[in-house]
């Protein structure tokens, strides 16, 4: 693409169309941009539009498109073409920092993100001057530019907070500190001085305080991994200023907005985080500063109001106290009973209250509420922080704290009992307090796993929780109902089974509640209860115990999907999946009705897939319906195909990228159920599955390979007779996969199925070429994974076509090649083969080479006979060699570019392990003994002498054991 006005104009028009609300305009424009993004100059054209366009909306659209383009394409993936040309990469890096710093804030943020994505790959090695270019801009004195630099530095360095320690990381952080720490400290001091100078200029203060917040965030990132020497030497400067800023109260920066945190709150929240980091990690060095921070933060907590805008500040301040109180160093600060009472009364109880803002979220913004409350992303809520503080205090003071709170719980419950209609929030706070007191350790899988001995959970359940669950009107007091449901879910591992069984039908009826939070919690609680394990690893709740409620459970779950706001509720869909899984054949009578509802839902969501978890559980539920029903009666597979194929066809025709891998998995499952014949509806699709475009997307590869394997297993003869012209296409797929280190094993799965199932004469003409391709790959990059797959393949070939055919095809490519493969690959590497089926294939294949290949007995290959026998005995008796060379550790987990749907394996579409040898050989050791016996009768005297002269004593001993077990001997 040339850099000219015509192209800029075209690009602008298409960007404009991507903003259209009409899918008929928007989709083609998105497809067009996707089709041209591989062209050279495309990113430069985007940046030119961003810089020169007169239309601000187009500039922002161009910035977002550019950032997403970088996100998808910047990373260079081994075995895949470089998607951005080198001149474009150089030009982008040369211009982007300057462009970012001179753009308006909205665009600055997008470009700043793009810089951090590029930096993640290229900094510091391929972009060494990035930091110095940024640091030099500190001198500009223009805070629009300085904040741009700080924002970019923050997005570049924040990954230091969660990266694993490594030498590479240390050297990068050291480089950053050497260049950045001193100028950052100077900027920090200068900015604080400027705050004094402009103390009465509100606009200047807003800019300066946003700089201070960014500087404080950078401080956190740079200090996270370890305490850098520079910051230890300058601790006085940083901590004194942090402390002053914490106690600062500037009337000009106070906001009237009750919801949105102001600059002052954001800065103080970050300083609380920084203080907590030092208190936790560097307590010795931080000791001199700690008392004044505790005092300042305590005062903050006692004087800050209940408005939502202070939530982040209050929760970070409480988290600071929580991290301090559980360190043995600081235990003495909290020992006094008065201090504990004061913390409980002034900090914990007020922040456990259910405020009107929480009530609004519960009613009007249920999705956000559920994410915060259920999934624990409520890290910055007051309640979560107060809970953590209770847990922290209980570490050393469990008795006194439980005592203080028991009083509060009782008085709250008494208040509630006086007038439930008005005082229901008191009960809500009481339940929350009991939960935070009782919970010591928690896991996603089991709920609370360790509880406070001083709280009687079962008694509390009977006296205070059951009442709400049993209340005849499910829509009354939804918050308390949700609390009760959550209590059952949280303490499911502590409550006795009979109480859980009592709760199940009650939870089923709560699925009908109008409140989204309430019926979502009911679905989630049921799903968690159904996964609990009882004795001998069966489910704790059995299908028999569920029998009285099965119909109502299924009815209510599907009805809940029709409640406004829950049409794509992932918790309900997950509960449907889990119910199917628990109930198994008990669902068969209901499936004819339910499958219609599931396919209708699939058709609706495929128009615009927006909830990945919901969609995943929807496909899992479809798989379970198919599995459970067809297990009872395989002939019903046709009715599933009738129901599903129209929707699947639409998904494939519209290329709904998120769903295509799922469709292939469900089709594999359906096809695998058929009895060794392949319906014509599948054959019609076969040529389409070989189209190269489908194989470009990494997420399609595993399910497509499995689907092709199902085609080969059920219809190899049909393919050979009616679609022989498609065999080269099939082998083309194998060739593409084998070239990639990430996907070569998938190529072998396909190849093994071709060898196992295709009629031999249909692939005769291609065999030699297959082996040549494999040798080329062995020469260009021989990895452990490839060698293991290669060994399984050649041994499967030996089993299928005979050892002579294997030796002849090798030696036909190049004289003596068979011997080289046996000596250089089979003998030294076979110990690395893993997996029972794979080992069995290798054992049977090698047995055939030893005993059915005349060349091994009377040519120069004979010297390899005993070492190969020894390698086979090693495969039987020695532990697997799982060593991998250092440079290969990460081959399997290549990251796929961001926008490609990664492959999501459907658990309930799982494939049974397939053994191509099957019952023909039950014990390979016996087979070896019998085959050696047969060989020795054909040439008497030779086998015993070869074995006795050169096989090590230990191996010989094992061999004698095999011969005895098979009741044969060598002659």
Please write the tens of the pLDDT for every residue from 166-178: 899 999 999 999 9
The stretch 645-672 carries a mean pLDDT of 95
pLDDT at 779: 92
Work out the percent of the chain whose per-residue pLDDT is above 70: 96
Strands 439-443 and 447-451: antiparallel
Pair 866, 951: CB distance under 8 Å: yes
pLDDT range class, residue 250, cuts 50, 70, 90:
confident
**pLDDT (tens digit per residue) in 615-650:** 999 999 999 999 999 999 999 999 999 999 999 999
pLDDT of residue 173: 95
Q: What is the DSSP string of 217-259?
A: HHHHHHHHSS--HHHHHTHHHHHHHHHHHHH---GGG--S-SS
| CB 950, CB 902: distance < 8 Å | no
Burial of 164 (0-12, 13-18, 19+ CB in 10 A): exposed
For residue 160, what pLDDT is reported? 94
Q: Residue 443: pLDDT band by 50, 70, 90 thresholds?
A: low
Residue 889: pLDDT band with limits 50, 70, 90 = very low
Task: Band the pLDDT of 422: cuts 50, 70, 90.
Answer: very high
What is the chain's alpha carbon radius of gyration, rounded to the nearest angstrom? 34
661 CB-contact burial (10 Å; exposed 0-12 / middle 13-18 / buried 19+)? buried
Residue 892 has pLDDT above 50, yes or no: no
- Where does the pLDDT of residue 254 fall: very low under 50, low under 70, confident under 90, or very high at 90 and above? confident
Residue with the bigger pLDDT between 956 and 376: it is: 956
Is a pLDDT exceeding 80 seen at residue 380? no
pLDDT tens string 124-150? 999 999 999 999 999 888 999 999 999
Instruction: Tell how far CA 857 is from the center of its chain.
Output: 54
**DSSP SS3 for 451:** strand
* Residue 836 reports pLDDT greater than 80: yes
Task: Give the confidence band of 896 by pLDDT, cuts at 50, 70, 90.
Answer: very low
Q: Give the pLDDT band (50/70/90) at residue 753.
A: very high
Tally of CB atoms within 10 A around 29: 17
Q: Residue 145: phi, psi to the nearest 5?
A: -70, -45
Instruction: Evaluate the omega torsion of the peptide bond into residue 219 and state whether it is cis, within 30 degrees of 0.
Output: no
Is the pLDDT confidence value at 535 over 70? Answer: yes
**Distance (Å) of CA 164 to CA 175, 224, 227, 716, 898:** 18, 11, 16, 49, 22
Domain ranges of the chain: 542-670
Q: Which residues share a beta bridge with 441?
A: 450
Which secondary-structure segment (H or E) carries 826?
none
539 phi/psi in degrees, rounded to 5? -70, 145
Identify the bridge partners of residue 443 per DSSP, sorted by sequence position. Answer: 447
The predicted pLDDT at position 888 comes to 58
Q: In whole angstroms, what is the distance from residue 772 CA to residue 793 CA? A: 14
Using alpha carbons, select from 689, 713, 712 the residue that is nearest to residue 701. 689
Q: What is the pLDDT of residue 895?
A: 32
Using H for helix, E for strand and C for coil, what is the string for 376-435?
Answer: CCHHHCHHHHHHHHHHHHHHHHHHHHHHHHHHHHHHHHHHHHHCHHHHHHHHHHHHHHHH
Query: What's the confidence (pLDDT) of residue 900?
Result: 38
Question: CA 41 from chain center: how many Å?
Answer: 34
**pLDDT score for 377:** 62
pLDDT at 149: 95
Task: Estimate to the nearest angstrom the gap between the alpha carbon of 121 and the chain centroid.
Answer: 21
User: Are 116 and 152 in contact, with CB atoms under 8 Å apart?
Assistant: yes
Residue-wise pLDDT for 299-323, tens only, equals: 999 999 889 899 999 999 999 999 8
CA distance 405 to 711: 65
Alpha-carbon gap, residue 886 to 603, rounded angstroms: 47
pLDDT at residue 576 tops 60: yes
Alpha carbon of 518 to those of 68, 324, 479, 484: distances in Å?
38, 36, 8, 10
Query: Backbone phi, then psi, for 766, in 5-degree steps?
Result: -100, -10
- What's the mean per-residue pLDDT of the chain? 92
What pLDDT band is residue 910 in, cutting at 50, 70 and 90? confident
| Range 599-618 average pLDDT | 95
Q: Are 657 and 616 in contact (CB under 8 A)?
A: no
pLDDT tens digits for range 89-113 = 999 999 999 999 999 989 999 999 9
759 in Cβ contact with 717 (< 8 Å): yes
Q: What is the pLDDT of residues 38-86, one digit of tens each?
A: 999 999 999 999 999 999 999 999 999 999 999 999 998 877 788 999 9
Quote the pLDDT of residue 887: 60
Q: What is the largest CA-CA distance in the chain?
A: 108
Length in residues, the chain? 971
Q: Which of 373-387, 424-438, 892-906 has the lowest mean pLDDT?
A: 892-906
| Closest alpha carbon to 895 in 42, 70, 27, 80 | 80
- Give the C-alpha separation, 835 to 752, whole Å: 15
Out of 159-163, 272-276, 340-344, the most confident range is 272-276
- CB-based contacts of 138: which residues, under 8 Å, 6+ apart? 146, 149, 183, 186, 187
């Amino acid at each position: 693409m040339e850099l000219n006005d015509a192209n800029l104009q075209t690009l602008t028009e298409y960007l404009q169309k991507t903003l259209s609300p009409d899918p008929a305009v928007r989709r083609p424009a998105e497809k067009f941009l996707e089709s041209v993004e591989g062209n050279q100059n495309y990113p430069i054209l985007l940046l030119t539009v961003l810089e020169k366009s007169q239309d601000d909306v187009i500039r922002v659209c161009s910035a977002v498109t550019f950032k997403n383009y970088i996100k998808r394409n910047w990373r260079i993936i081994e075995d895949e073409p470089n998607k951005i040309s080198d001149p474009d990469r150089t030009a982008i890096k040369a211009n982007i920092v300057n462009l970012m710093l001179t753009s308006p804030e909205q665009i600055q943020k997008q470009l700043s993100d793009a810089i951090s994505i590029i930096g993640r790959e290229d900094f510091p090695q391929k972009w060494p001057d990035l930091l110095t270019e940024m640091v030099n801009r500190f001198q500009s004195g223009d805070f629009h530019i300085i904040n741009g630099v700080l924002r970019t530095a923050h997005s570049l360095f924040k990954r230091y907070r969660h990266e694993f320690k490594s030498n590479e990381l240390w050297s990068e952080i050291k480089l950053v500190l050497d260049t950045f720490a001193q100028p950052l400290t100077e900027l920090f001091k200068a900015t604080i001085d400027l705050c004094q100078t402009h103390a009465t200029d509100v606009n200047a203060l807003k800019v300066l305080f946003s700089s201070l917040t960014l500087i404080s965030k950078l401080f956190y990132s740079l200090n996270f991994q370890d305490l850098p020497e520079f910051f230890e030497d300058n601790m006085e400067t940083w901590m004194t200023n942090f402390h002053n800023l914490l106690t600062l109260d500037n009337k000009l920066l106070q906001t009237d907005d009750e919801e949105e945190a102001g600059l002052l709150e954001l800065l103080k929240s970050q300083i609380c985080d920084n203080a907590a980091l030092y208190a936790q990690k560097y307590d010795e060095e931080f000791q001199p500063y700690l008392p004044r921070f505790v005092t300042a933060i305590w005062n903050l907590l006692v004087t800050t109001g209940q408005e939502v805008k202070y939530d982040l500040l209050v929760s970070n301040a409480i988290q600071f106290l929580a991290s301090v109180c559980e360190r043995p160093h600081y235990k003495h600060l909290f020992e006094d009973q008065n201090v504990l009472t004061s913390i409980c009364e002034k900090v914990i109880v007020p922040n456990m209250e259910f405020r009107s803002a929480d009530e609004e979220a519960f009613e009007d913004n249920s999705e956000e509420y559920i994410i915060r409350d259920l999934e624990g992303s409520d890290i910055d809520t007051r309640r979560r922080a107060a809970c953590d503080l209770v847990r922290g205090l209980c570490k050393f003071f469990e008795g006194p704290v439980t005592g203080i709170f028991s009083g509060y719980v009782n008085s709250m419950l008494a208040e509630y009992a006086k007038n439930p209609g008005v005082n229901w929030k008191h009960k809500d706070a009481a339940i929350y307090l009991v939960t935070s007191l009782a919970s010591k350790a928690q896991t996603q899988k089991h709920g609370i796993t360790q509880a406070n001995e001083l709280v009687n959970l079962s008694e509390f359940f009977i006296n205070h929780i059951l009442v709400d669950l049993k209340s005849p009107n499910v829509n009354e007091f939804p918050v308390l109902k949700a609390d009760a449901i959550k209590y059952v879910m949280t303490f499911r591992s502590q409550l006795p089974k009979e109480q859980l069984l009592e709760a199940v039908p009650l939870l089923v009826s709560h699925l009908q509640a109008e409140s989204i939070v309430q019926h979502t919690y009911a679905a989630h609680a049921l799903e968690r209860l159904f996964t609990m394990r009882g004795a001998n690893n069966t489910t704790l709740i059995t299908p028999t115990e569920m029998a009285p409620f099965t119909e109502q459970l299924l009815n209510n779950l599907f009805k809940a999907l029709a409640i406004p706001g829950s049409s794509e509720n992932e918790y309900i869909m997950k509960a449907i999946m889990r119910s199917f899984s628990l109930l198994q054949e008990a669902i068969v009578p209901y499936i004819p009705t339910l499958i219609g509802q599931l396919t209708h839902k699939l058709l609706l969501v495929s128009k615009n897939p927006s909830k990945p978890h919901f969609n995943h559980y929807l496909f899992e539920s479809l798989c379970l319906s198919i599995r459970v029903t067809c297990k009872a009666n395989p002939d019903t597979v046709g009715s599933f195909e009738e129901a599903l194929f129209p929707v699947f066809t639409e998904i494939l025709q519209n290329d709904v990228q998120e769903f295509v891998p799922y469709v292939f998995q469900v089709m594999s499952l359906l096809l695998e159920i058929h009895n060794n014949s392949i319906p014509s509806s599948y054959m019609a699709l076969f040529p389409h599955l070989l189209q190269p475009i489908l194989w470009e997307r990494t997420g399609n590869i595993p399910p497509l390979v499995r689907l092709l394997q199902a085609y080969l297993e059920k219809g190899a003869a049909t393919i050979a007779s009616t679609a022989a012209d498609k065999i080269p296409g099939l082998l083309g797929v194998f060739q593409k996969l084998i070239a990639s280190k990430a996907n070569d094993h998938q190529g072998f799965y396909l190849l093994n199925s071709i060898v196992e199932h295709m009629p031999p004469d249909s692939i005769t003409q291609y065999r030699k070429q297959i082996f040549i391709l494999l040798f080329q790959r062995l020469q260009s990059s021989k990895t452990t994974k490839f060698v293991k797959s290669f060994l399984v393949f050649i041994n499967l070939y030996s089993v299928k076509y005979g050892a002579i055919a294997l030796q002849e095809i090798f030696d036909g490519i190049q004289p003596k090649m068979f011997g080289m493969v046996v000596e250089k690959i089979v003998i030294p590497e076979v110990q690395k083969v893993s997996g029972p089926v794979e080992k069995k294939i290798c054992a049977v294949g090698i047995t055939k080479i030893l005993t059915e290949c005349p060349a091994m007995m009377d040519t120069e290959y004979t010297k390899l006979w005993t070492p190969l026998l020894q390698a086979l005995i090693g495969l039987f008796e020695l532990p697997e060699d799982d060593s991998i060379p250092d440079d290969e550790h990460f081959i399997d987990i290549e990251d796929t570019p961001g926008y490609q749907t990664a492959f999501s394996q459907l658990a309930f579409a799982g494939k049974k392990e397939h053994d191509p040898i099957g019952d023909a050989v039950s014990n390979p050791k016996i087979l070896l003994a019998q085959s050696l016996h047969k060989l020795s009768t054909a040439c008497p005297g030779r086998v015993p002498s070869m074995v006795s002269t050169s096989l090590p004593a230990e191996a010989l001993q094992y061999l004698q054991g095999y011969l005895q077990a098979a009741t044969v001997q060598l002659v």
